[in-house]
Amino acid sequence: METHAEAASQANLAHQFHALHAHEGSALVLPNVWDAVSARLMQQCGAKAIATTSGGVSWAHGYADGGALPMAAHLATVREIVRVVQLPLTVDLENGYSDDPAIVAANVGEFIAAGVVGINIEDGAAAPELLMAKIVAIREKAAAMGLDLFVNIRTDVYLRKLVENDKLAAETIRRAEFYKRAGADGLFVPGLADLNALRSIAEVVGMPVNVMAVPGLANVQQLAAHGARRVSAGTALMQAALGTTVKLAKDMLDGGSVEGMFAGSLGYGEVNALFP
């Protein structure tokens, strides 16, 4: 198996990843992954880049989403993914594992060393100024390591309803201005599903806008037409896989047929051949 480093240099992968956000009227589609086999499958399915989901990686290691996953386990997953794919890799780092910008930058440096070319980092309920300081520190660290890291900023304005409904778009734009000034490359707005709000945000923030799969979300073409440059699955693919697994397992445990396991499944040889 050709390694990630042999396929292309990290700098070239970073350049590719930046370029994937540059096409007006189209969106980079990221069916988020949680381990090496899901990453390898997404590459085989035709994904142009690989993105992890923090929730999925956490669950795969037996931890709840939301800062519980040890960084060492996260880094181990990243290294496993890098070993089996030849595409740009971006990872969801939640809050960067610290509220101290210097520690966050050092942590990001470890992920860069593991092979990533992009990160998501979030504001949560904290003041925007904290994330701004983290962005500045991350930028300095990435520059010192010689990598044009794609810094995608997740703002939780919509997801956590940080302001009243009629102020959500305005607050998102306000925060985006801060984050762009600090050095952000992209804006991730999970929970944003309204196409008119998407258009209003995308038209003024001056950065690629990323939305996440939620029930009732428009299709990728509609999202791109309204200004989205990136569409992520989040935890939705893993949740769907787990839901199917539970159904099939219950059928078997209840004494039913096992035939459902083989309808539409990947063959043993097909999966094994992912890792020659």
pLDDT attached to residue 170? 98
CATH fold, domain 4-237, is TIM Barrel (3.20.20)
Q: Tell me which residue has tokens 């787990």.
A: 242
DSSP letter at 34 equals S
Q: What is the pLDDT along the chain (276 residues), one digit of tens a residue?
A: 445 454 459 999 999 999 999 998 999 999 999 999 999 999 999 999 999 999 999 999 999 999 999 999 999 999 999 999 999 999 999 999 999 999 999 999 999 999 999 999 999 999 999 999 999 999 999 999 999 999 999 999 999 999 999 999 999 999 999 999 999 999 999 999 999 999 999 999 999 999 999 999 999 999 999 999 999 999 999 999 999 999 999 999 999 889 999 998 999 999 999 998
d(CA 156, CA 190): 7
- 244: three-class secondary structure by DSSP: helix
pLDDT attached to residue 13? 97
Which of 170-189 are b and which e, b meaning 16 or more Cβ less than 10 Å from the residue's Cβ?
Answer: ebbbebbebbbebbbbbbbb
Percentage with pLDDT > 70 across the chain: 97
Domain extents in the chain:
4-237
pLDDT attached to residue 223? 98
pLDDT attached to residue 15? 97
pLDDT attached to residue 8? 55
CB 92 within 8 A of CB 125: no
pTM: 0.95
pLDDT attached to residue 2? 44
pLDDT attached to residue 276? 86
Q: How far is CA 255 from CA 248, 250, 276, in A?
A: 11, 9, 36
- Phi, psi dihedral angles at 199 (to 5 degrees): -60, -45
CB 147 within 8 A of CB 110: no
Q: Using CB atoms within 10 Å of the CB of residue 13, give its burial: 0 to 12 exposed, 13 to 18 middle, 19+ buried.
A: buried
Q: What is the pLDDT of residues 254-275, one digit of tens each?
A: 998 899 999 989 999 999 999 9
pLDDT attached to residue 5? 52
pLDDT attached to residue 156? 97
